[in-house]
A and B are shown apart, each in its own frame.
Chain A
Amino acid sequence: NAGVTQTPKFRILKIGQSMTLQCTQDMNHNYMYWYRQDPGMGLKLIYYSVGAGITDKGEVPNGYNVSRSTTEDFPLRLELAAPSQTSVYFCASSPGTGDFGTEAFFGQGTRLTVV
């Protein structure tokens, strides 16, 4: 059981380039999330999905796009990379909220630098 797998682990982009961060989970979780974490800061939600075909914006969606065509995969697309998108990106999944919500399981992160 691999859990949540993110690729790549590290990437350097030039300003204006585009890329896709891949995320896949094998726990059959309905909920998936993309967070970014800047130094000394907590996690900020970029986008989330409550199931295949359903996505919604989080706190900081500008400059990003997502899709959710399957339960397993939730890729994050960066268009026209900017230095402000230099950050560590975490993908996470959770089985659903139930009555009180459930915890999220995180991937190992992608460290992205835009130069």
Chain B
Amino acid sequence: QKEVEQNSGPLSVPEGAIASLNCTYSDRGSQSFFWYRQYSGKSPELIMFIYSNGDKEDGRFTAQLNKASQYVSLLIRDSQPSDSATYLCAVNDRGSTLGRLYFGRGTQLTVWP
């Protein structure tokens, strides 16, 4: 059973601060990593994906991947109240279970004005 663990939260930050969301995974063979945002009562939507070690930036979002430590994180700079949502980490592997995505439980983020 592949495990994806996220910091339990909830996480609360003031507007303008940096929010840091963390995720660890159990399978060293995992190849690709995704961050989804889910607003209450809505479906998940992809905000970032990363395949290679290091940082990947997209606007206010930065994904960081360290395969040796089996760790992936998401930083949200200049957090806005509209960023308040649950963030789901997902891991995709290329083993016998091609195409399967494993999700963590999610971290609930609240950005207060």
Chain A residues in the interface with B (C-beta under 8 A): 31, 33, 35, 40-45, 48, 50, 58-59, 90, 94, 96-97, 99-101, 103-109
The residue of chain B having its C-beta at the shortest distance from the C-beta of A35 within the complex is B103
Question: What does DSSP make chain A's interface, helix, strand, loop or mixed?
Answer: loop
Q: A40-B105, A41-B105, A100-B31 given as contacts; is B100 within 8 A of A48 (CB)?
A: yes
Q: Assess the B46–A103 pair: CB atoms within 8 A.
A: yes
Q: A31-B99, A33-B101, A94-B99 given as contacts; is B32 within 8 A of A42 (CB)?
A: no
Q: How far is the CA of A50 from the CA of B104 in the complex (A)?
A: 22
Chain B residues in the interface with A (C-beta under 8 A): 1, 4, 6, 31-32, 34, 42-46, 49, 51, 88, 90, 92-94, 98-106
Q: A42-B105, A103-B34, A106-B43 given as contacts; is B98 within 8 A of A97 (CB)?
A: yes
> Which of B43, B46, B101 contacts A109 (CB under 8 A)?
B43
> Which of A42, A45, A108 contacts B88 (CB under 8 A)?
A42
Q: Assess the B99–A96 pair: CB atoms within 8 A.
A: yes
> Which of B1, B42, B98 contacts A50 (CB under 8 A)?
B98
Q: List 23 A-B contacts (CB under 8 A).
A: A31-B99, A35-B103, A42-B4, A42-B103, A42-B104, A42-B105, A42-B106, A43-B88, A45-B100, A48-B99, A50-B98, A58-B100, A59-B1, A90-B44, A94-B99, A97-B92, A97-B94, A100-B32, A100-B94, A101-B92, A103-B34, A103-B49, A109-B42
Q: 18 new A-B pairs (CB below 8 Å) besides A101-B31, A104-B101, A108-B43? A: A33-B101, A40-B105, A42-B105, A45-B100, A50-B98, A50-B99, A58-B100, A94-B99, A97-B92, A97-B99, A99-B31, A100-B51, A100-B94, A101-B94, A101-B101, A103-B46, A106-B43, A108-B42
Question: What does DSSP make chain B's interface, helix, strand, loop or mixed?
Answer: strand
CB distance from B42 to the nearest CB of A (A): 8
CB distance from B82 to the nearest CB of A (A): 20
